[in-house]
Each structure stands twice: as C-alpha cells, then as structure tokens.
Amino acid sequence: MTATPRSGTPAAAAAQHRAPGRQPPAPLAPTLHRPPSAPAEKDRTDANVSMAVTLEEAPWLGWILVKALMRFAFMVANNLVAISSYICYVIILQPLRLLDSKRFWYIEGIMYKWLLGMVASWGWYAGYTVMEWGDDIKAVSQDEAVMLVNHQATGDVCTLMMCLQDKGLVVAQMMWLMDHIFKYTNFGIVSLIHGDFFIRQGKSHRDQQLLLLKKHLEENYRNRDRKWIVLFPEGGFLRKRRETSQAFAKKNNLPFLTHVTLPRIGATNIILSALVARQENGSPAGGDAKELESKSKGLQWMIDTTIAYPKAEPIDIQTWILGYRKPTVTHVHYRIFPIKDVPLETDGLADWLYQRFVEKEALLSHFYETGAFPPPKGHKEAVSREMTLSNMWIFLIQSFAFLSGYMWYNIIQYFYHCLF
C-alpha cells in the first residue's frame, strides 16, 4: 500500500508538477568508471609482458656477459704473451739488423703480420666477417701502393687487419698512418718498432706534422722495405668531422657529403712527393738505366678503399674485442688507380681526391639503399668475394705466441735467479 502525500506539504507540491503518467526517477546507481581504468589495465598487462620477455632473455644476456668477460680475459693474455714475445725477438735479433738489415725487417714484418692476424681472429670468431667488392687488389700486392680509406670508427682498422691477411706480404710490408692516440694503446709499442706514423690532429700541429711525416718516410719507408701505406684522408671519424666538413663545403662551394667527409690533402701530397719515382729525360731521377733494376719503382697504385657497415652502424674496437654484437658482415670496396693518373700538383690532387670521395658517397648511398655496391661500368651486376681466415693458420700463430711467451718467461726467470 502506497502512502499519499498530504496537501500543503512539499511532497504534495512536487507531485502536482510532475507530468501525467511519468514515473519518478530511479535512484542513481554507483558508476564503475570502466573506460578510464582500461589504460591502467593495459599498462599492467604490458608491464607483465615486458617482465616476462626480460626474464626469458636473462639467460641469453647472462651468456653474452660471460662470453664478453672470457673474450676480454683471452685478449689480455693474448696481448701479454704475443707483444712481449715480439719485443723479445726484436731485441735478440738486433745483431742481425746490423749485419743484414733487409732480412731483419723481413722477419720483423712476418711477426707483425702474425700479431695483426691475432687481432683479426678476435673478430673472426665473434662472427665479424668481410665481403670484398670491386677490383682484386691481390694483383698489385707486390707493388707499392697507397690505400685511401674512409673512416667511421676504430673497427675500420680491425677490418683492414682482417681483409689484408690473405694478400701475401702486404701486411708485413705495410706502414699505417693513424691518430697519435693509438700510440698509447697496447699496440702502440709494436707500431713504433714497425715504423708506423702517428699523426697529431689540429691546425696548430698540421704543418709540423707534415714535416715530421716527410722525414719519417725518408728515413723508414725504403730502409725497412715498406710497400703499402694505409691512409685515412678524412683526418678523423665521420661522426666527429661531418658537421665541420659540411660547413667547410658550403662556405667554399664544394660537394656536400653525408656518408663521408671531404678529405684533407696534406698527408697525401707529402706521400706522393716523397715516394713517387720522378722521371727525367726518360730515366729515373738521380740514376741511369742500370740502376733502375736495383732501385724501387716508387708508388705505382692508389687504391680507393670504401668500408660499409650494414645499416650504417660501424663496429668499434670494444665490440671487436668483447663480441657482444650479433655476427656482422662488413663490406669493403676497392678501386685501383695507376699513379700516373693521379695529379701531383696540389690543386690537381685536391680535385682528384674530392672526386674520389664524391664517388665514395655515391657508393655508400647505393649500399645503404640496396645492401650491395653498384656494378662497375659496363657490367650488369657487381660480384662480391667472401674473405676467409684459415682456422689452422690462426691456431698455429696463437700456439706460437703462447709457446714463445712461456719460453721467454722461463728464460727471463732463469737470468733473474742467476743475477739475484
């Protein structure tokens, strides 16, 4: 039974204003606000999924860490025995240097090649391999040549150490021109003995460094029977020099480059002026035809070398040593130019070098778009060659290094006990 409001009460007045036949509104039910809570629920779900993925990857990440530590420990041991043995052998062979300098530097070059082979093996067993394109530089491995290489990271040096191992005695008779900071690395003492040249960067040092380079070439290149020079004409890493190079190009109306930087001319000019055999009246300057056979023919080739990394992600020396990056194929493209086609005067050489780096830019642009270098002119497709290292050869040189280290340790220990 429903109670009727009495007249004159507020309830009765409200009832009079209601529309006929309209029911009073039902009491409001509590709202659940489900839509606003949906994102929070999604966040909790994503967090759970992320945590699950992390937990699944934990063993793999743990293995990467353990493997990196093991590789680092091996690298330290490898350096200790190999570099120490190299120094001991060089010291003990000093009498041979006085008696037969050419033979001494030949033996030193072979040991130097083995040391670089050990460095190459660190990347090889991490899955960092090399694919070669363009001209076959084995054909000029016995001639004198300069390699002009683009520079992206410290891994460029390691890549060259690997891909030149199967080019005969190139590595043994090679001279590197590198930043002076490498002098203070573990390999610096080896490079100093071998006769590599360390360049100090900066405008304030430039003129002095070029004079020192000229003197170094005159005193060491021929005397140590060197034949190849590795030069990075950009004068620094791409990431550090790109903005400066682009600003210089814009100011001087020069090519605007993205994947390489404009090369510096000084070191190349010094090398050519010091090592290219000058001709006078059809015979080498400073000698007659009979002396030609006993004298070097001088530089004969310029090898334009372009290094490309997948997705433009270069490898650094830390990655090469620790091996925490997934296996990667680095691509190296060669083009050989006869030295007679290279202008020796400064302005002509500058134009020639700029043109080579414009072509490098085109090569790298094509590689980053397609994953391959373009074919040479007159060919429909480019042919690549996989560079491989012999596992047996690596085993032998590593065994020699560790056995030599053990031998020298015992010799030094014996003399130490005898003296003290």
DSSP 44-91: HHHHHHHHHHHHHHHHHHHHHHHHHHHHHHHHHHHHHHHHHHHHHHHH
DSSP 175-202: EEEEEGGGGGSTTHHHHHHHT-EEEPPS
The domain tally of the chain equals: 1
pLDDT tens digits, one per residue of 60-94: 778 888 888 999 999 999 999 999 999 999 999 99
Taking the C-alpha atoms of residue 104 and residue 195, their distance in angstroms, rounded to an integer, is 13
| Burial letters 122-153, b for 16+ CB under 10 A, else e | bbbebebbbbbbbbebeebbeebbbbbbbbbb
**Structural domain includes residue 4:** no
Taking the C-alpha atoms of residue 115 and residue 86, their distance in angstroms, rounded to an integer, is 8
Determine contact, residues 126/323, Cβ cutoff 8 Å.
yes
- Predicted confidence pLDDT, tens digits, the chain (420 residues): 444 444 444 444 444 444 444 444 444 444 444 444 444 444 444 444 444 446 667 777 788 888 889 999 999 999 999 999 999 999 999 999 999 999 999 999 999 999 999 999 999 999 999 999 999 999 999 999 999 999 999 899 999 999 999 999 999 999 999 888 778 877 889 999 999 999 887 777 788 889 999 999 999 999 999 999 999 999 888 988 899 899 999 999 999 999 999 999 999 999 999 998 654 333 444 444 344 444 567 899 999 999 999 999 999 989 999 998 999 999 999 999 999 999 999 899 999 999 999 999 999 999 999 999 999 887 888 889 999 999 999 999 999 999 999 999 999 999 989 988
Task: Return the pLDDT at 376.
Answer: 85
Taking the C-alpha atoms of residue 243 and residue 230, their distance in angstroms, rounded to an integer, is 25
**Structural domain includes residue 215:** yes
Determine contact, residues 87/405, Cβ cutoff 8 Å.
no
**Structural domain includes residue 197:** yes
SS3 category, 43:
helix
CA atoms within 13 A on the CB side of 354: 14
**Structural domain includes residue 289:** no
Taking the C-alpha atoms of residue 275 and residue 122, their distance in angstroms, rounded to an integer, is 34
Q: Give CA angle at 413 (412, 416), nearest 5°.
A: 85
DSSP 291-314: HHTTS-----EEEEEEEE-GGG-P
Q: Which domain holds residue 138?
A: 128-278+297-389
Q: Cβ atoms within 10 A of the Cβ of 279, count?
A: 11
DSSP 126-169: TTEEEEEEES-GGGGTTS-EEEEE---STHHHHHHHHHTTTSTT
Query: Would you report the helix, strand and coil content of the chain in percent, each value rounded to 5?
Result: 55, 10, 30
Determine contact, residues 348/338, Cβ cutoff 8 Å.
no
**Structural domain includes residue 174:** yes
**Structural domain includes residue 53:** no
Task: Return the pLDDT at 77.
Answer: 95
**Among residues 210, 141, 215, 132, which one has the least CA distance to residue 383?**
132
Determine contact, residues 87/188, Cβ cutoff 8 Å.
no
User: 169 Cβ partners below 8 Å, 6+ apart?
Assistant: 109, 113, 141, 142, 227
- Give the neighbor-by-neighbor strand order of the sheet with 228-231: 197-199, 174-179, 228-231, 145-149, 301-308, 328-338, 128-134, 384-387
User: 409 Cβ partners below 8 Å, 6+ apart?
Assistant: none
SS3 category, 16:
helix
CA atoms within 13 A on the CB side of 202: 5
Indicate the helix (H) or strand (E) that contains 266. Answer: helix 266-275
Q: Which amino acid is at 239?
A: R
Taking the C-alpha atoms of residue 162 and residue 119, their distance in angstroms, rounded to an integer, is 8
Q: Which two tokens stand for residue 166?
A: 């199967």
Q: Cβ atoms within 10 A of the Cβ of 118, count?
A: 19
**Structural domain includes residue 268:** yes
Task: Return the pLDDT at 170.
Answer: 94
Taking the C-alpha atoms of residue 135 and residue 159, their distance in angstroms, rounded to an integer, is 18
